[in-house]
Amino acid sequence: MLKYLVVYASETGNTKQIADEIFYALPSDSKEEINVRSWNGRHDAETYFIGYWVNRGTCSLEIIDLITSLHRKNVAFFGTCGMGNDPDYYKSVESMATVWLPDDNRYLGSYFCQGSMPVTIRDRYEALRPKLGDSAVDRMIAIFDEGQRHPDKKDLLRANVFTDTAIRKIPTANDYSKIMDIF
Ligand SMILES: Cc1cc2nc3c(=O)[nH]c(=O)nc-3n(C[C@H](O)[C@H](O)[C@H](O)COP(=O)(O)O)c2cc1C
């Protein structure tokens, strides 16, 4: 069994960039990175980093299938979405995955950042001007334009730090032996 498996869904490459950084940060040769479309249950690991992008308010069925299949694993989530810099929104994005995670796994936390979106979405925002008014649409466009610069170097650095923080939550054999010393 592998020590670490990074599995991601990514349509336009943003989430894959984060997956690549997490994979790079993992301190072991016993690791693999795969697109969720190639995941088939034969890939197994002690620790999973599972990445997704937010698509119309949720994550893909393939990701949900993977999460619900996991038992007695260490699990962390990561991903990208259209919005940035909003911890409350990131909490709701996190819950899209945690809600499916069986209780017998050890949850290591999550990391999310903003990702760029196709320009067709900007055009759709513009078309909403008559309905929503200029100030609302200007705010949406500003978020969109900021997103075009993400994930950036800082996002990748934060993903790297997150990886380190997450794996420190996994008890080591040494931790277990200290517990056994008590008895
Ligand atoms: C069809 C579509 C639907 C989207 N829906 C949402 C959404 O509901 N909420 C959100 O925050 N971002 C949404 N986004 C933005 C994506 O989550 C964002 O662009 C993400 O970084 C894409 O990741 P990827 O490059 O790994 O595919 C949507 C993007 C597309 C193209």
Alpha carbon of residue 110 to chain centroid: 6
Same domain, 108 and 124: no
Please state the length of the chain. 183
Average pLDDT per 10 consecutive residues for the chain, totaling 183 residues: 96 98 96 93 92 95 96 98 92 97 98 97 96 96 96 98 97 73 66
Cα-based distances in Å from 58 to 51, 68, 92, 147, 169: 13, 15, 10, 19, 27
> Which residue has 């050890």 as its token pair?
106
User: What CATH number has the domain bearing residue 75?
Assistant: 3.40.50.360
Same domain, 26 and 75: yes
- Strands ordered across the beta sheet of 45-53: 31-35, 2-8, 45-53, 74-81, 106-114
Same domain, 92 and 130: no
Same domain, 111 and 26: yes
Atom of ligand 1 nearest to the CA of 14: 25
**Predicted local distance difference test score (pLDDT) of residue 172:** 84
pTM reported for the whole predicted model = 0.94
Atom of ligand 1 nearest to the CA of 17: 26
Residue nearest to atom 12 of ligand 1 (CA): 82
CA of 168 to the centre of ligand 1 (A): 30
Task: Report if residue 183 sits inside a domain.
Answer: no
Same domain, 83 and 137: no
**Predicted local distance difference test score (pLDDT) of residue 179:** 63
Count CB neighbours of 147 within 10 A: 22
Domain total of the chain: 2
**Predicted local distance difference test score (pLDDT) of residue 182:** 64
Count CB neighbours of 64 within 10 A: 16
Task: Report if residue 176 sits inside a domain.
Answer: no
> Of 93, 55, 61, which is closest to residue 77 (Cα–Cα)?
93
Same domain, 6 and 93: yes
**Predicted local distance difference test score (pLDDT) of residue 39:** 87
Per the structure, the complete domain to which residue 141 belongs is given by: 117-149
**Predicted local distance difference test score (pLDDT) of residue 173:** 73
56 close to ligand 1 (CB < 6 Angstrom): yes
Task: Report if residue 162 sits inside a domain.
Answer: yes
Same domain, 39 and 62: yes
Q: Are 125 and 144 in contact (CB under 8 A)?
A: yes
Give 77's strand partners: 50, 110
Task: Report if residue 32 sits inside a domain.
Answer: yes
**Predicted local distance difference test score (pLDDT) of residue 144:** 97
Same domain, 56 and 140: no
Strand, coil or helix: what is 73?
coil
Task: Report if residue 178 sits inside a domain.
Answer: no
From 15, 53, 125, give the residue whose CB has the most ligand 1 atoms within 8 Å, as the site to mutate. Answer: 53
Same domain, 9 and 66: yes
Same domain, 133 and 110: no
**Predicted local distance difference test score (pLDDT) of residue 158:** 98
Task: Report if residue 67 sits inside a domain.
Answer: yes
CA of 2 to the centre of ligand 1 (A): 30
**Predicted local distance difference test score (pLDDT) of residue 85:** 82
Same domain, 85 and 40: yes
